[in-house]
A and B are shown apart, each in its own frame.
Chain A
Amino acid sequence: MDLKYCNVKDSLPLFSSLPHNRFNYRATRHLVASSFHDFLNWFDDRAWYPLGRIVGGTVYPGLMVTSGAIHTILHALHIPVHIRDICVFLAPFFSGLTAIAGFALTRELWDTSAGLMAACFLAIVPGYISRSVAGSYDNEGIAIFALLFTYYLWIKAVKRGSVAWAAGTALSYFYMVSAWGGYVFIINLIPLHVCVLLLMGRYSQRIYVAFCTFFILGTLLSMQIPFVGFQPVRTSEHMAAAGTFVLLQAYAFLKYVQDYLTKQEFRSLFFFGVTGAAGAVFLGVVFLTYAGYVAPWSGRFYSLYDTGYAKIHIPIIASVSEHQPTTWASFFFDLHMLSCSFPAGLWFVIKDINDERVFIILYAMSAAYFAGVMVRLMLTLTPVVCILASICLSKTLNEYLVDDTPKKEKEQGEGEEIEEETEKKGRKLYDKAGKVRKIKPEPEKDSEGTGNNLRGFVVIAIMMMLMMFAVHCTWVTSNAYSSPSIVLASYSDDGTRVILDDFREAYYWLRQNTDEYARVMSWWDYGYQIAGMANRTTLVDNNTWNNSHIALVGKAMSSTEPKAYEIMKMLDVNYVLVIFGGVIGFSGDDINKFLWMVRIAEGEHPQDIRESDYFTTNGEFRVDKAGAPTLLNCLMYKMCYYRFGEVQNSIGYDRTRGVEIGNKDISFEHLEEAYTTQNWLVRIYKVLDVSNKEKVTNPTKKSKKKKFSSKKYGQVGPTLASSDPFPITIC
């Protein structure tokens, strides 16, 4: 049944048959074209010009290897499928697997009917569908499957206490590590589960076997991923697991000693033993951190704990919209009725607790916190919300749907299947006692009719809400998530859809009309797209590992033309690409992002760029006549609004900002407009060579300038080298 729901998902967004994440697709193509070892050693000289990027060591290879493996298997079976199709359909395929893993996990935690419901929710819930539509080719798509499957195997291991299940958990964890940086969530949540079980006095041999097997195998396996390397033994993020491991040994030893001691002796020994071990572990980690053997929490993780940290210290993290905190509206948008019914599920689970349910409680609470801090982590909350909401709803339905009278035909549409399944399973497998009890007292006291009516009302109400949920999911999917970011769709007044294909137009132009080795400068958001679709060298891209390089591009964008020209010459730029939405009213354009460029540039070059210069005296950011002169003359402004004053009856009215622009008299000295797309969405400029004429008219100035720029270049080298040596992907 859940597969059917997945099919709904598949058929919706077949809008463009291209994977959205261009880098992953490019890397996969490289993997398929060469061998696995070539892929690990791949040095990409087309990105981060002139630095380049060692892809094999700075990427989680799980996604590429998965699609590469599928490709190999299919070809071995003589099914000739293009790698592009595999990439496009990988996400829906894995979301189907996620639904199955969710079913299995919920069945272990509660019962089969709740499991089926959880699978249904997982298949359509908007919070997850953003990563599972066809064409979304992201790490997260497969990582959520790996996450849930690891948790399922862990629950199995805790229940059975068998080495086999625990080893399975470690293998699944290995897959997760290879796929996504979010694996840190698993390696902290499972030890937390063990710790809480110890605190609750629920220690058993099963837990000992499960955790020790998982920890040892999992740590060893995770160190096989080149990007992770020695982090599991060298960073604070992983120390909780190691500490729990030591604590568990101490606890197990004391339990063993218990047999040989009197009760009184054991009590004191136990108390001092456990507190001593816990204290020793804690002090040990603190000491190792201070002594430098263990790296302290990295900024990206620290910002989850101290929420103000990133805003001050890491503007590049704060600038990404997915790293903003979550409003209640986006909780509701992504979870709809689940967001208000899952706390009830949590309540039922707490009321009826056992070893494995402790786990889901901890998962729910920690994921709720993380999702509150960062919109992006909604993705980890969504599965647990589906599981708990399904427990709540299936428990309620079980109570009110068990009836001897003929089946209710009141419910229609989406809810029908859920309810039918629920009922079938519920009747077959369990809840006999509840059924008996309910039927028994009712005939005694009241007439059966009112009881049935009431039951009917409850069932109808819940079915209505489930239907609301289903239509909500469909609406969200078709409106918010299905159109690929590369093609914009807008609706005119009469409801016809207008497709704005400017991005592809521009990238195609670049691909056809520029030199194969041309360097294109743009803000980092478009790096992967330019590399993937236009096949040109970029300076910065979405893998934001080198802040100083990005700051340099930001500085070029926010300087005046002559200064920017120096930087561009220094970086060997041939073309500059900007996104401008003022003609069609597209709000995600470079002018709206511009302040972040300034801020990031200011972080590295505080002498040259000051954010305050880009505001008016009243502290406003304006592009009209009242705007700050620095802003009106910076490169980004000029590139966006070049000749803009001549269109639309010479008004120059910016539809995104809703103002008439302030500087209409723009001319370039070192740049030349190369191409502007149909709706002006993408504008490309060619960086001219140093002109002859100028040299002749003003030789002294020119030579001075040249000298200065070469000096500058000498300065830049060390800055780049001294920056963070560990390339980090945004996790």
Chain B
Amino acid sequence: MQGNCNRERASRNSKMKSSVKASVAILILYVLIALYSIGHAAKSDGNKKENQLGERVKQLSDWGSKRAVIKMNGDKYRQFVRMAPRNYSVIIMFTAMQPQRQCSVCQNVNDEFQIVANSWIYSPSYSNKLFFASVDYDEAPDVFNAMKVTAAPSIMHFPPKGKPKKNDVYDMQRLGIQAEVMVKWVTERTDIQIRIFRPPNYSGTITLGVLMLMVAGFLYFRRNNLEFLYNKTMWGVAALSIVFAMTSGQMWNHIRGPPYAHRNPQNGQVSYIHGSSQGQFVAETHIILLLNCAVTVGFIMMNKNPISEGDVRKRRVLTVIGLGLVVFFFSLILSIFRAKYRGYPYSFLIR
């Protein structure tokens, strides 16, 4: 479904470009739906209508109390979302959660959507004005067709009166899938404030706890032989790895989430180095990490160390290797930097 999603998205984009056709189609559809619902509504008299509304709201809040996101199929959708007299908003997530679809994005969006829905259910201002629901493609393809939803996952707001407008479609590509942003959008559309309550993520805490326990247990079993704690090499490697991770910009990757490498769509060439000094790819930072590492190792080799203690030939070989590492890899870093930083004039050995 991953690939599917992309294709669908692409087709949606192209459709947007030929928007005239699409908008005409949507218009016709809306008119049809409106006629249908008007006709449907006209069948019942006013009193019954109100009863029906009350019943439906009751039914919905019944379901809502059982699970935050109400699962909808075609019938339910028509009855509760499309039928005319409504005094509530419905936020529907169109998704494809079946395992054979392999839509990993759907799963992520679903998680965030659940958080939003749960926060709403448990919020003090909870009322019957807003419901969250989801429609799965494999259970109700007709709904997808009716709403012209071509991409999953997508999220739509159905206002109490009228049809969803342009802004009632959640722009996932631009806004992202974070619950906080979704809530902002929901507030925008419905004027209902929801405070996000994220169920605290215990997995991190548990991992940490288990890790601590393991370390403690390990120390306990080795309590008679704690020499390794005084092993400076171990501490040194740990400290250096933190420093290397930071100076090669892993924190930037963590915050910005760049792609691993860039594949040029025209000729299929893969570039590992970002063209500007303002950005970087993950692969690039790994390369730089290794290069920095090599230079550092070179410096360490050039100095006295236990391996070459007393043996002049060994020491000499190590010095040559160390010098080679330092000079070669440093000039490599410099040349990469030069390629990234336009107008930088200096280079060393390698251009």
Instruction: Give A contacts to B, CB under 8 Å.
Output: 307-308, 312, 325-333, 335, 337, 339-344, 346-348, 350-351, 353, 361, 364-365, 368-369, 371-373, 392, 395-396, 399-400, 434, 441-442, 444-446, 450-451, 454, 457-458, 461, 464-465, 468, 471-472, 475, 606, 610, 612, 615, 617-619
With contacts A339-B247, A339-B292, A471-B346 taken as known, whether A346 is within 8 angstroms of B252 at the C-beta atoms is: no
With contacts A328-B247, A606-B184 taken as known, whether A619 is within 8 angstroms of B173 at the C-beta atoms is: yes
Least distance between A117 CB and chain B CB atoms (Å): 14
With contacts A329-B340, A458-B323 taken as known, whether A441 is within 8 angstroms of B310 at the C-beta atoms is: yes
Q: Contact at A465–B330, with CB atoms within 8 Å?
A: yes
Is the CB of B95 closer than 8 A to any CB of chain A? no
Q: Contact at A327–B279, with CB atoms within 8 Å?
A: yes
| CA gap between A695 and B147 in the complex, in Å | 49
Q: Contact at B251–A326, with CB atoms within 8 Å?
A: yes
Q: Contact at B13–A618, with CB atoms within 8 Å?
A: yes
Give 20 CB contacts A-B under 8 Å: A327-B278, A328-B248, A328-B284, A335-B247, A344-B299, A351-B232, A361-B239, A369-B242, A369-B251, A373-B255, A395-B303, A400-B302, A434-B304, A446-B316, A451-B316, A457-B323, A458-B302, A465-B330, A618-B13, A619-B173
Q: Which residue of B lies closest to A367 (CB)?
A: B246
Is the CB of B174 closer than 8 A to any CB of chain A? yes
Q: Contact at B303–A399, with CB atoms within 8 Å?
A: yes
Is the CB of B119 closer than 8 A to any CB of chain A? no
Task: Choose from A327, A335, A444 the contact partner of B252 (Cβ within 8 Å).
Answer: A327
Least distance between A375 CB and chain B CB atoms (Å): 10
| CA gap between A647 and B313 in the complex, in Å | 75
With contacts A340-B291, A347-B300, A368-B247 taken as known, whether A333 is within 8 angstroms of B341 at the C-beta atoms is: yes
Which residues from chain A contact B292 at a C-beta distance below 8 Å?
Answer: 339-340, 343
Per-residue contact bits, chain B 194-218, to A (CB 8 Å; 1 contact, 0 not) = 0000000000000000000000000
Which residues from chain A contact B337 at a C-beta distance below 8 Å?
Answer: 329, 332-333
Q: Contact at B330–A350, with CB atoms within 8 Å?
A: no
| CA gap between A606 and B183 in the complex, in Å | 12
Least distance between B142 CB and chain A CB atoms (Å): 27
Is the CB of B256 closer than 8 A to any CB of chain A? yes
Q: Which residue of A lies closest to B319 (CB)?
A: A454
Is the CB of B150 closer than 8 A to any CB of chain A? no
Which residues from chain B contact A339 at a C-beta distance below 8 Å?
Answer: 247, 292
Which residues from chain B contact A329 at a C-beta distance below 8 Å?
Answer: 249, 277, 280, 337, 340-341
With contacts A346-B240, A347-B296, A347-B300 taken as known, whether A454 is within 8 angstroms of B320 at the C-beta atoms is: yes
Q: Which residue of A lies closest to B345 (CB)?
A: A475
Q: Contact at B326–A328, with CB atoms within 8 Å?
A: no
Q: Which residue of B lies closest to A441 (CB)?
A: B312
Least distance between B345 CB and chain A CB atoms (Å): 7
Least distance between A550 CB and chain B CB atoms (Å): 19
Which residues from chain A contact B284 at a C-beta distance below 8 Å?
Answer: 328
**In the complex, chain B residues 254-276 whose Cβ is within 8 Å of any chain A Cβ:** 254-256
Least distance between A319 CB and chain B CB atoms (Å): 15
Q: Contact at B236–A347, with CB atoms within 8 Å?
A: yes
Is the CB of B61 closer than 8 A to any CB of chain A? no
Which residues from chain B contact A446 at a C-beta distance below 8 Å?
Answer: 312-313, 316
Q: Contact at A392–B346, with CB atoms within 8 Å?
A: no
Least distance between A249 CB and chain B CB atoms (Å): 26
Is the CB of B38 closer than 8 A to any CB of chain A? no
Q: Contact at B247–A331, with CB atoms within 8 Å?
A: yes
Is the CB of B16 closer than 8 A to any CB of chain A? yes
With contacts A307-B255, A312-B180, A329-B277 taken as known, whether A445 is within 8 angstroms of B247 at the C-beta atoms is: no
Given A346-B240, A372-B247, A373-B255, 15 further pairs, Cβ under 8 A: A327-B278, A328-B248, A329-B277, A335-B247, A341-B295, A343-B240, A343-B244, A347-B236, A350-B232, A368-B243, A372-B249, A441-B310, A446-B312, A472-B346, A617-B166
| CA gap between A91 and B276 in the complex, in Å | 32
Closest 5 CB pairs of A and B: A372-B251, A344-B299, A619-B174, A372-B246, A328-B249
Least distance between B296 CB and chain A CB atoms (Å): 4
With contacts A308-B255, A329-B341, A347-B296 taken as known, whether A615 is within 8 angstroms of B348 at the C-beta atoms is: no
Q: Which residue of B lies closest to A331 (CB)?
A: B247
Q: Contact at B256–A325, with CB atoms within 8 Å?
A: yes
Task: Choose from B245, B299, B341 the contact partner of A341 (Cβ within 8 Å).
Answer: B299
Q: Contact at B296–A327, with CB atoms within 8 Å?
A: no
Is the CB of B8 closer than 8 A to any CB of chain A? no
Least distance between B186 CB and chain A CB atoms (Å): 11
Q: Contact at B333–A332, with CB atoms within 8 Å?
A: yes
With contacts A325-B256, A372-B249 taken as known, whether A612 is within 8 angstroms of B167 at the C-beta atoms is: yes
Q: Contact at A461–B326, with CB atoms within 8 Å?
A: yes
Which residues from chain A contact B320 at a C-beta distance below 8 Å?
Answer: 454
Q: Contact at B288–A328, with CB atoms within 8 Å?
A: yes
Least distance between A686 CB and chain B CB atoms (Å): 35
Least distance between B108 CB and chain A CB atoms (Å): 16
Per-residue contact bits, chain B 26-38, to A (CB 8 Å; 1 contact, 0 not) = 0000000000000
Which residues from chain B contact A392 at a C-beta distance below 8 Å?
Answer: 299
Q: Which residue of A lies closest to B254 (CB)?
A: A307
Is the CB of B154 closer than 8 A to any CB of chain A? no
Which residues from chain A contact B296 at a C-beta distance below 8 Å?
Answer: 340-341, 343-344, 347
Q: Contact at A365–B239, with CB atoms within 8 Å?
A: yes
Is the CB of B327 closer than 8 A to any CB of chain A? yes
Is the CB of B250 closer than 8 A to any CB of chain A? yes
**In the complex, chain B residues 326-351 whose Cβ is within 8 Å of any chain A Cβ:** 326-327, 329-330, 333-334, 337, 340-341, 344-346, 348
Least distance between A626 CB and chain B CB atoms (Å): 11
Q: Contact at B313–A606, with CB atoms within 8 Å?
A: no
Which residues from chain A contact B279 at a C-beta distance below 8 Å?
Answer: 327
Q: Contact at A346–B313, with CB atoms within 8 Å?
A: no
| CA gap between A308 and B251 in the complex, in Å | 11
Per-residue contact bits, chain B 164-200, to A (CB 8 Å; 1 contact, 0 not) = 0011000101110010100010011000000000000
For A326, A328, A396, the residue with the greatest tally of chain B CB atoms inside 10 Å of its CB is: A328
Least distance between B303 CB and chain A CB atoms (Å): 6
